[in-house]
Amino acid sequence: MPVHESLQPAALDHFPARFPDHIADDYGLQGFNCRQNPMRELPDDFAETLARVLDPRQREAAAEIIEAATLLDDVALRRFLQLFAARVRSSDAPIRAGELRRFLDRAARERPPQDAP
């Protein structure tokens, strides 16, 4: 196994990496290494759909937690959304801010297996 300097990336370290968002995607290459095509924009009814699954008395707190989730790195944000989606699928009960806070904490702490979608 080749050894490399501690501050230098190993060969292929950045192979699955994306271009930064500020780089133009004129040729559709941004999603080239992604497992799925990236979503370009949210659906028109996204806010209404989200409001239907949240506890109406806790929407403001939930909005703050969801906003905090946008500051996570890509892997942790994906984990947060997976936890959120699993909860939506598992129960018709409104989602409370405390649940979202636990999803955020878990997503920030744990990493899914490498082969997880």
Residue 47 predicted with pLDDT over 60: yes
Q: What is the pTM of this model?
A: 0.60
Q: What confidence tens digit (pLDDT) does each residue in 77-102 have?
A: 999 999 999 999 999 999 999 999 99
Mean pLDDT of the chain: 76
* Boundaries of every domain in the chain: 46-109
In the numeric block, the tokens 């949240």 are attached to: 54
Quote the percentage of the chain above a pLDDT of 70.
60
Q: What confidence tens digit (pLDDT) does each residue in 66-81 have?
A: 999 999 998 999 999 9
